[in-house]
C-alpha cells in the first residue's frame, strides 16, 4: 500500500513513530516526517495502518494499493491519449471557457 503524510496537519503527538518507527521519524518538537516514499510492503502494513488509524489529526493518508504493473499501464495509457486540439469548439468545453 501507499501512504502520504500531511505535515501541515501533524500536531506532534508522536503516535505514528511509536507504532511504525521504520516509516515515521520525529523532529525535536515531535513533528513527524515520512521515511521513504510512502510505499509500505505487506509485512509492515498492520503497523502502518495502526499508526494511520491512531493519528489523532488524520495526518497520515491512505493512498491505495501500490501495484507497479498497473502504474506502468496507466502511464502508457496517459502517454497514448491524444492531446485535445486547442482550435476546436470542444476544447472550450474542456477548459470551461465560454465566449
The residues of the shown chain that bind ligand SF4, judged by CB under 6 A, are 5, 10-16, 24, 32, 55-57, 59-60
Cell of 45: 502494513
We find the least distance from the C-beta atom of residue 31 to ligand SF4, in angstroms, to be 6
Q: Write the DSSP symbol of residue 29.
A: T
Q: How far is the CB of 58 from ligand SF4 (least distance, A)?
A: 8
CA atoms within 13 A on the CB side of 78: 6
Q: Identify whether the C-beta of residue 16 lies closer than 8 Å to the C-beta of residue 64.
A: no
Where residue 38 falls (left for φ over 0; alpha for ψ -120 to 50; beta otherwise) is left
Between 25 and 88, CB nearer to ligand SF4: 25
Smaller CB separation from ligand SF4, 27 or 70: 27
Q: Give the residue with the Cβ less far from ligand SF4, 8 or 79.
A: 8
Which residue lies nearer to ligand SF4 by CB, 45 or 67? Answer: 45
Give least dist CB 18 to ligand SF4, A: 8
Q: What's CA 94's distance to the chain center, in Å? A: 27
Amino acid at each position: 500500500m501507499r501512504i502520504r503524510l500531511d505535515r501541515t496537519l501533524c500536531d506532534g503527538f508522536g503516535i505514528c513513530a511509536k507504532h511504525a518507527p521504520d516509516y515515521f521519524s520525529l523532529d525535536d518538537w515531535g513533528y513527524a516526517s515520512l521515511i521513504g516514499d510512502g510505499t509500505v510492503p505487506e509485512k509492515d502494513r498492520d503497523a502502518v495502518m495502526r499508526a494511520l488509524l491512531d493519528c489523532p489529526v488524520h495526518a497520515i493518508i491512505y493512498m491505495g494499493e501500490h501495484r507497479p504493473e498497473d502504474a506502468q499501464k496507466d502511464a502508457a495509457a496517459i502517454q497514448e491519449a491524444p492531446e485535445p486540439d486547442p482550435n476546436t469548439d470542444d476544447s472550450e468545453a474542456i477548459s470551461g471557457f465560454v465566449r
